[in-house]
Amino acid sequence: MRRVAVVVAHPDDESYPFAGTLARLADLGVEVHVVCATRGEGGWDLTGEGRTGAALAEARARELARSCEVLGAAPPRFLDMPDGGVEIVPERLQAALAPIEPDVLFTLGHDGAYGHVDHLAVTAMVGAVAGGRPVLHAVFPPGLFEPFRRKMKRFAPAALGLPDDAPLGSRLFDLEVDIRPVQQRKLDSVAAHRTQVQGGEPRRFLFDGLLDAVLDVERFRYATESRIADF
């Protein structure tokens, strides 16, 4: 395994599911890349500085670049799709991946963590361009994201793309990565996303308890028949 790419929808989606694994791979000499479908302009600014639209997109792109630096990854690549309107256009993703030639692809699973429509679209695109390469889907503990899904249903229902009773998370996984040696880098990766972290405290990212649940191990399931050696 020489090169890997994690493909995500928004700046910060590389951090909470994948940061520890990416840091460990980088430490092993693997070339790590992040491809992000959007620049996150449809999100919020929790710094109190009031950024929206293009200003928020610029800030979040810088934050993703900083997160990649913390993890030992290459500078991020963007597909520049609209936040909240990611379309399944495999050709766009394939063009971004072609110069990288990754051996392995990482992305969120078919639950989209909490069912976000952009997450689901990215997962579909990754499946369409895999081409026989191993694809690893992030797996979270069952129900971890339920409180956040309920919050999204109340405040941003259009962002959800799964039925209300669709299960989130799973006890089933194929690969478990011990990330305790790189815990601080995962926290620093999350903290790099200043506009998304309440009070600058990474453990408050998205909702209290999320980071504590994914700070010791990161788990994945294969979406393909191809496999990689454990590391």
- Domain spans of the chain? 3-222
Q: Ramachandran region of residue 163, left (φ > 0), alpha (ψ -120 to 50) or beta? A: beta
CA atoms within 13 A of residue 89's CA, in its CB half-sphere: 13
pLDDT band at 228; cut points 50, 70, 90: confident
Q: What is the pLDDT of residue 1?
A: 85
Residue with token string 């999350």? 190
Over the chain, what is the mean pLDDT?
96
In contact, 17 and 218? CB cutoff 8 Å? yes
Helix, coil or strand: residue 172:
coil
The type of residue at 2 is R
3-222 CATH: 3.40.50.10320
Q: How confident is the model at residue 124 (pLDDT cuts 50, 70, 90)?
A: very high
pLDDT digit string, tens, across residues 26-71:
999 999 999 999 999 999 999 999 999 999 999 999 999 999 999 9
Is 29 exposed, middle or buried (CB count within 10 Å of its CB: 0-12, 13-18, 19+)?
A: exposed
Residue 99 has pLDDT above 90, yes or no: yes
Residue 231 has pLDDT above 80, yes or no: no
pTM above 0.85, yes or no: yes
Token readout for 214 is 């994914």
Q: For a pLDDT cut of 70, what percent of the chain falls above it?
A: 99
Q: What pLDDT was estimated at residue 229?
A: 72
Q: How far is the C-alpha of 215 from the C-alpha of 93, rounded, in Å?
A: 29
Tell me the C-alpha distance between 138 and 197, whole Å.
21
226 has a pLDDT exceeding 90: no
8 A C-beta contact, residue 194 and residue 67 = no
